[in-house]
Structure 1
Amino acid sequence: MDFHISPLIEDYRSRIATFVEREILPLEADPSSYDEHENIAHGALQTTRAKAKAEGLWCLQLKPETGGAGLGRIGMAVCYEAMNRSIFGPVVFNSAAPDDGNMMLLETAGTPEQKERWLQPIVSGDVRSAFAMTEPHPGGGSDPSMIQTRAEKRGDTYVVHGRKWFITGAEEASHFILIARTSDDPRHGLTAFLFHKDQPGWRILRRIPIMGPEEHGGHCEIEFDGLEIPKKNVLLGEGQGLKVTQIRLGPARLTHCMRWLGLSKRCVEIAQAYAAERTGFGQRLADRESIQLMLGDLALKIEIGRLLVMKAAWALDQGSFARKEVSMAKIHVANLLHQAADTGIQINGARGYSKDTVLEWIYRYARQARLVDGADEVHRMVLNRFLTSEGSNFWSWPVTDGGTLATSA
């Protein structure tokens, strides 16, 4: 297995790292850079985004014809990790959820007309977007087959009734991707729709208060009461909603992991710097075996996470849905992020618990990682399902043979 990256990817990684150090990290230390929900304020965001665009570091995940750099999933793994050395990094480069996943979905599944109407404004940074799938009980969450929001077809128009919640970014989104039920068919009962915030027939009931810092637009509960969506705004065709979720959610889960690795490394960086200068009882913290064991354990787990993410990225680039690989990465990296933030705070002591560093921000943010895009337990169930069906082939290696792929346990 060759883990070398191309000179092109390394060039982007290096430029991103320099940009984060020079332009974004100083914003974290300035209280005026934060909005009321502890994300980067709009003024600072727009200024820094303009600089990122000017340096050719914008939407790198997309194809060149869409306005990106065509890095592929492997290149994204390298670059996203570098972007999220800062808590503000991904959104500056237009690589943050939910816009990131929505753009990649529309690039893959949209018609030329849909890409022009719904994708390009997100690519340019003129609008934000949201993906409306999750519902309150008894509706669908991790199990999309439970979705109850319905879209009734009336001629060339669909009329939507139902509720969604924890819809990330909804309060500031203009473009929405909605998953709703159009029939009771177990495989083809869901359909994906596109709608604009100014269309009547829907409303935000509330911005749900959460434990951690929030993405722009928060996490909202939404009600649909007669929203009309024309047939031309159906994505991939009626009954293809489950396929749409598969196209979007697998890569989106992995991009979370890519970014979380960057945050985990930042926690280690802050802990190392403090341990190197802080002394107690006649000894630097960095010279204490207990501290060395804590940091060494994190270094090991971060590298394991990077390998899991890179294998999943490789599989996605080969055209696989990579369900096993993504689930493994999601479980490991989500728990790693929580441990990294906790360990960073522990080593920094009261300083880590304060707002003098971003450790407490990351710690509050990290708890959602084990829930978003499928809880740990759901992904473990997925892995057990594969283990049960595949047996020893669960651990098989892909084998090349005359240009074709086989597998070997």
Structure 2
Amino acid sequence: MDFTISPRVEDFRARIARFVANDILPVEARPEAWDAHGNIAHDWMAPLREKARDEGLWCLQLKSETGGQGLGRVGMAVCYEEMNRSIFGPVIFNSAAPDDGNMMVLEQAGTPEQKERWLDPIVRGDVRSSFVMTEPHPGGGSDPGMMATTATKKGDKYVIRGHKWFITGAADADHFILLARTSDDPRRGLTAFLHHRDDPGWRIDRRIPIMGPEEHGGHCELIYEDMELPADRIIMGEGMGLKITQMRLGTARLTHCMRWLGLAKRCTEIAQDYAANRHGFGIRLSDRESIQIKMGDLAMEIEVGRLLVMKAAWALDQGSFAKKEVSMAKIHVANLLHKAADVAIQINGARGYSKDTVLEWIYRYARQARLVDGADEVHQMVLNRHLGEEGRDFWRWNVGDI
């Protein structure tokens, strides 16, 4: 792959960098701009989103006909990393999870009627959305084949019964993509449905308290009790739910990594600034070899992460499912984010542990990175499976025509 980016992508990156520096970081620094769950408050978020839309920095990940800029996965990698210099960044540009992944899967798989009703309002920023898949034991988690929520056909409708949990954004969402079992077929047994907050037959049982800060709408436990949905709420057709999860989660895992790289770089930025200005025992922290080793190692690990993410993004743009590449990026960058926050806190000392910087926020947030969209161990098993199937070809180079 060619590691140069187009002038168009660089233009978006530079404009995003200026927007984050000039408009978002000053808001992040204001305690009154935070909500009770550790995110930007809605009344502070709205004007920033409007300005991002006016400046053409909105939904860059989508096609132009959908309301985006059609940057492709490589362009997204460049821009998402820049957005998440601020912890508030992605949501301002309408590129935050779970809306990000939901919009991309609806753009790819929805009918024209479904796009008009379910996708367009998310693109406009009028509503938020949620992806309803994970279940408590003994239901489906990392293994969707264990899905216990059922959708039973009754005439021209489907009756949904089940229990879901850790559903990101559910408390603030109006549009939901729901996975349920319609048969016992191992490959065609799951179906994806669309439903609205106002549809009867379901409820949010609780907003689950977590150790870290939350996305808007939290992580919720949902109960479905005989919800009835018409057949036109199905995405791609009955039995295509596993395909929908594969379409959505592959890219979604990588977009997490893109954003996490931005946070990791922010950690180094805070650490560098403090080390350059803090003196002790007659010497600046930044002049100590121990600090230089920590910072040099962190810089290298971030660059390794960027290369893994960019390779996976490039492979996706070439039409590959990029399963190996995405899994490698997910494992490395998730662990990198935790390491970057830990190192930066250690360098900042008590200041890093306090709320005077965003390091403690990133540290608490980073622990979930090794769990969301597949735990480290799941992705390691995926890589081992590929290694067993491919042998030495696991590391093969793709050969071009010329």
TM-score over 0.5 (shorter chain): yes
Corresponding pairs, count: 402
Q: C-alpha offsets along residues 102-137 of structure 1, whole Å, 9 cap, x if unaligned?
A: 000000000000000000000000000000000000
Q: Answer yes or no: is 1:150 the counterpart of 2:146.
A: no
Q: Which amino acid aligns with 2:18?
A: T
1:2 CA drift (Å) = 1.6
**Where in structure 2 are the equivalents of 1:365-380 lying within 5 Å?**
365-380=365-380
**Where in structure 2 are the equivalents of 1:2-401 lying within 5 Å?**
2-401=2-401
Q: C-alpha offsets along residues 109-166 of structure 1, whole Å, 9 cap, x if unaligned?
A: 0000000000000000000000000000000000000000000011221000000000
Q: Which amino acid aligns with 1:125?
A: G
What 5-or-longer segments of structure 1 have no aligned partner?
Answer: 403-409
SS at match of 2:399: strand
Q: Distance in 2 between matches of 1:187 and 1:122?
A: 30
1:3 CA drift (Å) = 0.5
SS at match of 2:398: strand
1:219 CA drift (Å) = 0.1
Q: Which amino acid aligns with 2:10?
A: E
Q: Distance in 2 between matches of 1:6 and 1:306?
A: 17
Corresponding position of 1:407: none
Q: Distance in 2 between matches of 1:2 and 1:188?
A: 38
Corresponding position of 1:406: none
Q: Which amino acid aligns with 2:143?
A: D
Please give the TM-score of this superposition, normalised by the length of structure 2: 1.00
Q: Distance in 1 between matches of 2:370 and 2:314?
A: 23
Q: Which amino acid aligns with 1:307?
A: L
1:376 CA drift (Å) = 0.2
Corresponding position of 1:405: none
1:221 CA drift (Å) = 0.3
SS at match of 1:345: helix
Please give the TM-score of this superposition, normalised by the length of structure 1: 0.98
Q: Distance in 1 between matches of 2:299 and 2:223?
A: 45
Q: Distance in 2 between matches of 1:155 and 1:399?
A: 53
More displaced 10-residue stretch of structure 1: 254-263 or 1-10: 1-10
Q: C-alpha offsets along residues 180-212 of structure 1, whole Å, 9 cap, x if unaligned?
A: 000000110000000000000000000000000
Q: Which amino acid aligns with 1:102?
A: N
1:401 CA drift (Å) = 2.1
SS at match of 1:53: helix
Q: Distance in 2 between matches of 1:296 and 1:229?
A: 55
Q: Which amino acid aligns with 1:50?
A: E
Percent identity, aligned pairs only, is 75
Q: Distance in 2 between matches of 1:191 and 1:378?
A: 23
Q: Which amino acid aligns with 1:398?
A: N
Q: C-alpha offsets along residues 54-111 of structure 1, whole Å, 9 cap, x if unaligned?
A: 1110000000000000000000000000000000000000000000000000000000
What 5-or-longer segments of structure 2 have no aligned partner?
Answer: none
Q: Which amino acid aligns with 1:186?
A: P
1:374 CA drift (Å) = 0.2
Q: Distance in 2 between matches of 1:380 and 1:38?
A: 31
